[in-house]
Structure 1
Amino acid sequence: MARGSVFKRSGGWAFKVDTGFHPETGKRRQSLKQGFRTKREAEAALAEAQKTVLDGTVVANSNMRLDDFLDEWLIGQEARLRPSSHHSYVMAGKRLKRHLGKYKLQALTPLQIEKFYAELLDHGQRNGKGLSPKTVKNTHVVLRKALADAERLGLVHRNAAAAARGPTVQRPEMSTWSSDQLKTFSQVAKESRMRNAFTILATTGMRRGEALGLRWGDIDFDSAQIAIVQTVSTVDSKVVVGQPKTAGSRRTVYVHDATIRALRQQRQLQAEERLAAGPAWDTDNDLVFRNLTGGPVNPDWFSRHFDKLVEKADVPRIRLHDLRHTNATLSLKAGVHPKVVSERLGHSTIAITLDLYSHVTPGISRDAAATVESMMFD
């Protein structure tokens, strides 16, 4: 086993480990790593380093800086990610390069990275204001993945970001409407050219981008079912048509009369708008919901338009995405099996659905208890 020691240094803990002898001078070579929060953390890292020496997998010294590595790494991620996801990686990379880019890849420590997160939370924006915990958490995820690849490629002996603690992100409070509030909004939304899109969101639980990415060819009117196979999103202020959020998001949703009626009305409305636009109409897509010249609807505009209608309807303020939560909540309260709700929403597991809508499940359990007792003691 290679010799090594743990000691205090620069307000934290560090370790030294023998990495062998220089082939020409015969002098002993050592590797120093510092910035650990606790002695136990440093000891664990030392044990790992000693194992790499024993296995003959010692990482060669390198002067590569984090910003140079990230430039190459981000290029390689483009083919693996959706455009919106890659854009978020690039934005996180800019923050990382601006604050940590000058440091050597092999010199990064968990303590240094956690200090960087604290700075982002305090004054990470260019105007001096702090970034949200969610944004900083996303930055942490990108750095951890980048350094995991650096470790796999033998550029660093350990992933310093994996040992660092990212910020805690509180799940935003979920807001939903009752069926009466949804009906009130629907009455006001009748004046909007996007009224049928709101109906689709409320009756199917689709995500905003999924509804805006819906094509006429994805709808089977005879079987009353919709295939969700693409989305519309904004990337760097540009409208982009791409793939669903996850593989599980590609799904078939069965619909009923109100949804079919809304889709037929939308087809008639689109024919009228196409006639009014004339030669300016965009014929390059088959989208169900389009702007006034036939192009994809900007998702950000769609959300702002929804907010204005909510204010006019004088119902509790919710986000456009909360129509999805409203659909799930009303479905569960109506007795729809959670597995069915999960599949309609495109969740990867039923556990995600039950966790998200745990506020509904106690009522389901009470109803189940009443049903069972009525069967036994009626």
Structure 2
Amino acid sequence: MKGHIRERTTGSWAIILDRRDDETGKRKRKWHSFKGTKREAQKECARLITSMQGGDYVEPAKETLAQFLDRWLEHIRSQVSPRSHERYTEIARKNLVPLLGGAVLTKLRPEQISAAYGKALVSGRRDGTGGLAPRTVHHMHRILRQALGQAVKWSILARNPADAVDPPKVERQKMRALDATESAILFAHFRPTRVFVPVVLGVLCGLRRGEVTALKWRLVDWTTGHLEIVESTEQTRKGTRSKETKSGRARRVALPSFALEELRTHRVRQAEELLKLGVRATTDDYVYAQADGAPVQPNSLTHEFTRILARSTGLPRIRFHDLRHSHATQMLAGGVHPKIAQERLGHSSIAITLDLYSHVLPGMQEDAAAKVDAALRAAIGKAAG
């Protein structure tokens, strides 16, 4: 196997690969066009020779975007979580491929991508009932841009055509937070159900859904009244798996006395329930579990919460994740320092906390201004006297 390059015009090269036909022994030549520097052309020639020798050679001029996305999805499998890989695969094969999959990878143009996004917004739903949401098309763009960026790293493309395309504007999703009165009504509504403790952990501790389903009794410190949040659970098509928290770090959350009391009551009730089944409770049991102690899938918690909430008449229709927003909003509105809120919520930086809950801060600023003003006037009055 041999190969060499030949300059056509400035910055444009022909890569010629020589190989022998295994059956006839005759020499065959493969020509590739390449744009870039001489050094880059030499590196691409070496890459193509290695690819041929390894048996995974695909002529760039013939490889479609659909074929490349399959290769890319396999490449990133070990770099993302199983749930993220499932999501990437779904968007790539069900949204991108029907619109752009037949395009030859090396000939894909920004205007083609832009037109595909426009079509997706108007008629992109697979059931034929209309267009996709701007947020979904934005996810499509993010995945396509990442995939084509890899094609550039592999020297298949000289530049990323998705870089020249602007995705549709996505309005920030409005969060719905409960105030203290609504939280009290929520507790009363859920108290007779198995979802009561997850609701308490969401409203009073700000736990995420996966953190609730991963919490075990050994992580509850009864002496100090703290929770150790060390992992989360993630649901995939292959089942539920444990993973690290979203920020990648464990955190310690102080329990309000109300939450601590409810957890003690729940612990006793759960132990009695297990004892009736002939099972002895241990510290390795899940705090929120099925009647036999088995763990609950995150999606099941969401479905049960939504089902029970629908039976109420005086509560807004919120998501389980909005309980976390309620905790954050009530903390900040009550004057808790944003740094403390960040630590309780498990955000990787205080900037995330401030950005998400900036709508709460104006009231805090007014309160701070009033306190500074009062302190200054008192000092002035004292000095004058």
TM-score bracket, normalised by the shorter chain, equals 0.7 to 0.9
- Counterpart AA for 2:374: S
Within-5 A mapping of 1:20-35: 20=13
Maintained 8 Å contact 1:233/1:241 = yes
The structure that has the greater radius of gyration is: 2
Please name the residue that 2:48 is paired with: none
- Quote the Cα distance in structure 2 between the aligned partners of 1:297 and 1:22: 57
Aligned length: 341
Is structure 2 residue 20 aligned with structure 1 residue 19?
Answer: no
- Quote the Cα distance in structure 2 between the aligned partners of 1:374 and 1:282: 56
Please name the residue that 1:221 is paired with: 222
Q: C-alpha offsets along residues 163-205 of structure 1, whole Å, 9 cap, x if unaligned?
A: 2222222111121111011111111211112211111111111
Maintained 8 Å contact 1:225/1:254 = yes
Please name the residue that 2:152 is paired with: 151
- Counterpart AA for 1:94: R
Is structure 2 residue 46 aligned with structure 1 residue 53?
Answer: no
Maintained 8 Å contact 2:203/2:326 = yes
- Quote the Cα distance in structure 2 between the aligned partners of 1:230 and 1:3: 57
TM-score by length of 1: 0.81
Residue 359 of structure 2 aligns to a residue in which SS?
Answer: coil
Within-5 A mapping of 1:121-270: 121-129=121-129, 130-236=131-237, 238-248=239-249, 250-270=250-270
Pairwise CA RMSD: 2.9
Within-5 A mapping of 1:66-81: 66-81=65-80
- Counterpart AA for 1:83: P
- Quote the Cα distance in structure 2 between the aligned partners of 1:170 and 1:287: 38
Tell me how far 1:338 sits from its aligned partner: 0.5
Maintained 8 Å contact 1:122/1:131 = yes
1:135–1:246 CA distance, 2 compared to 1 (3 A): farther
- Quote the Cα distance in structure 1 between the aligned partners of 2:281 and 2:99: 44
Is structure 2 residue 309 aligned with structure 1 residue 325?
Answer: no
- Quote the Cα distance in structure 2 between the aligned partners of 1:223 and 1:147: 51
1:292–1:98 CA distance, 2 compared to 1 (3 A): farther
Please name the residue that 1:64 is paired with: 63
Residue 274 of structure 2 aligns to a residue in which SS?
Answer: helix
Tell me how far 1:282 sits from its aligned partner: 12
Q: C-alpha offsets along residues 23-46 of structure 1, whole Å, 9 cap, x if unaligned?
A: 89xxxx9969xxxxxxxxxxxxxx
Higher mean C-alpha deviation, range 80-89 or range 128-137:
128-137
Tell me how far 1:127 sits from its aligned partner: 0.8
Please name the residue that 1:42 is paired with: none
TM-score by length of 2: 0.79
Maintained 8 Å contact 1:282/1:295 = no
- Counterpart AA for 1:333: A
- Counterpart AA for 1:171: R
Residue 171 of structure 1 aligns to a residue in which SS?
Answer: coil
1:57–1:225 CA distance, 2 compared to 1 (3 A): farther
- Quote the Cα distance in structure 1 between the aligned partners of 2:196 and 2:256: 17
Tell me how far 1:54 sits from its aligned partner: 5.8
- Counterpart AA for 1:299: P
Please name the residue that 1:86 is paired with: 85
Higher mean C-alpha deviation, range 366-375 or range 315-324:
315-324
- Quote the Cα distance in structure 1 between the aligned partners of 2:371 and 2:126: 59
Please name the residue that 2:306 is paired with: 307
Residue 233 of structure 1 aligns to a residue in which SS?
Answer: strand
1:78–1:221 CA distance, 2 compared to 1 (3 A): farther
- Quote the Cα distance in structure 1 between the aligned partners of 2:13 and 2:238: 54
1:238–1:126 CA distance, 2 compared to 1 (3 A): farther
- Counterpart AA for 1:345: L
Please name the residue that 2:349 is paired with: 349
- Quote the Cα distance in structure 2 between the aligned partners of 1:183 and 1:237: 38
Tell me how far 1:21 sits from its aligned partner: 6.4
Higher mean C-alpha deviation, range 61-70 or range 125-134:
61-70
- Quote the Cα distance in structure 1 between the aligned partners of 2:122 and 2:274: 50
1:92–1:358 CA distance, 2 compared to 1 (3 A): same
Structure 1 unmatched runs, 5+: 5-16, 33-48
Q: C-alpha offsets along residues 101-160 of structure 1, whole Å, 9 cap, x if unaligned?
A: 222221111111122222222222221132222222112111111111111111111111
